[in-house]
Amino acid sequence: MHKYAQIDELTGICVGVSILSGKVVADHMVLMDEDSLVKPGDIYKDGEWIVVDIPDPEPELDRIGQLEFENLELKLALAELAEVQQTNNSRWLNWLKF
């Protein structure tokens, strides 16, 4: 088995790691040791690997969580609207008493 890192030829960034049954001769494929810990995102420059720590993305709310949050915002907006409407109705009723 042969372990290769596929790199972007312009930037040297590793875009994939493969374990193949045969040898490959290609400029964008770099033969590695089986124990190599190279991963996509690492950079190959002048025959050496530069390890790049890519931070984990911020966890996003799942779709249900997003909808629940939007639902709460809408409930708050409706409550505020009902309060304004009630205030306006009471003013109208007071005006009718004259």
Chain mean position to CA 7: 23
Q: CB atoms < 10 A from the CB of 49, how many?
A: 19
Distance separating alpha carbons of residues 7 and 40, to the nearest angstrom: 9
Q: Which tokens go with 52?
A: 């790049």
In a 10 Å sphere around its CB, with 0-12 CB exposed, 13-18 middle and 19+ buried, how is residue 17 labelled? middle
pTM of the predicted protein model? 0.54
Q: Model confidence over 21-64: pLDDT tens digits? A: 999 999 999 999 888 899 999 999 999 999 988 777 666 668 88
Closest alpha carbon to 44 in 35, 56, 31, 55 = 31
Q: Model confidence over 8-25: pLDDT tens digits? A: 989 999 999 999 999 999
